[in-house]
Amino acid sequence: MTTMSLGSTLEETEKLLQNKEETEKTGLTKVLTLSTNWLLEILSIGKSEIPLYDLKWNFDVLRKIFKIIGAKPPKLSFF
């Protein structure tokens, strides 16, 4: 995922370009987090169709995502 922004003035465009790396990193983090969540939801819903599937894996992946983005994961009482 990439971002492309042009400002109304040359100065505004230069400022946007200076922040491009951080904007790209933020966008990539959102895409990876949302797509991983989407995959985990699909796996959770279809778990009965996947032989030898362990739902605990979903929560292990989510814990890693929370750690990467520096957030505290919710407490899971059933594992």
Q: What is the pLDDT of residues 1-40, one digit of tens each?
A: 566 667 788 888 888 778 788 888 888 888 888 888 888 8
Q: SS3 for 44?
A: helix
Q: What is the pLDDT of residues 66-75, one digit of tens each?
A: 888 888 877 7
CA distance 69 to 33: 9
61 and 68 in contact (C-beta within 8 Å)? no
From residue 40, give the alpha-carbon distance in Å to each of 9, 14, 55.
Answer: 43, 39, 9
Domain-by-domain residue ranges, the chain? 10-69
Residue 76 has a pLDDT of 64
pTM, two decimals, is 0.52
pLDDT score of 42 more than 60: yes
Mean pLDDT over 50-70 rounds to 82
36 and 63 in contact (C-beta within 8 Å)? no
